[in-house]
Each structure stands twice: as C-alpha cells, then as structure tokens.
C-alpha cells in the first residue's frame, strides 16, 4: 500500500495501533476507478462501477454534512461520459 493511503498509527500511548484511516472516501475511489475503466475502454467494468457508486450515493448518507447535490452531479456526469463513449456520433 502507498504511504498516502494511511495515516501513521504507531504513536499510541498504550502501544496499540489505532484503526487505519483512509484519506479518500470510498465513493471517490470508485469514481476514479470508473474513469480509469473508461480511459482503457472497458465499458462493462465502468458500468458496474457506476452501479456500485449509485448504491453508495443513493442510500441514506452516513455523513449528514456530505454535499449530496455535488455527489449526485458527479454520478450524472459519469453516466453521461459512459453514454457518450458508447454512442459516439
């Protein structure tokens, strides 16, 4: 794993490590993977990633502070990108 994916967890007074904390949200990582799949022309994988992203974004939010509108706009933009890639004109 890369060092930027985790915070340092070794400085605990009781000698125990704290749970690892990720620097990006899961939805962000899925969106990045979606764009990579599109860039590589793997549209079926991109479609599956969009379905997973939609599941994450449409269920009840775990973080009430999250910007739901921005998340939904990103999802719509991703759907539009995939549609345009599959239907070049």
Enumerate the domain spans of the chain.
25-86
Query: Please, are residues 27 and 57 in contact by the beta-carbon 8 Å criterion?
Result: yes
* 43-52 residue pLDDT tens: 999 999 999 9
Confidence of residue 83 (pLDDT cuts 50, 70, 90): very high
| Gap between the Cα atoms of 13 and 3, Å rounded | 22
Report residue 82: phi and psi, to 5°: -65, -40
| SS3 label, residue 60 | coil
pLDDT at 61: 64
- Identify which of 9, 36, 39, 40 has the alpha carbon closest to the alpha carbon of residue 22: 9
Q: What percent of the chain has pLDDT over 70?
A: 72
């Amino acid at each position: 794993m890369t060092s930027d994916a985790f915070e340092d967890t070794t400085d605990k007074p009781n000698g125990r490590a704290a749970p690892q904390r990720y620097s990006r949200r899961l939805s962000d990582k899925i969106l990045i993977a979606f764009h990579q799949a599109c860039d590589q022309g793997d549209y079926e994988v991109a479609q599956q990633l969009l379905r997973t992203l939609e599941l994450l974004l449409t269920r009840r939010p775990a973080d009430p502070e999250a910007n739901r509108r921005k998340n939904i706009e990103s999802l719509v933009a991703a759907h539009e990108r995939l549609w345009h890639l599959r239907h070049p004109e």
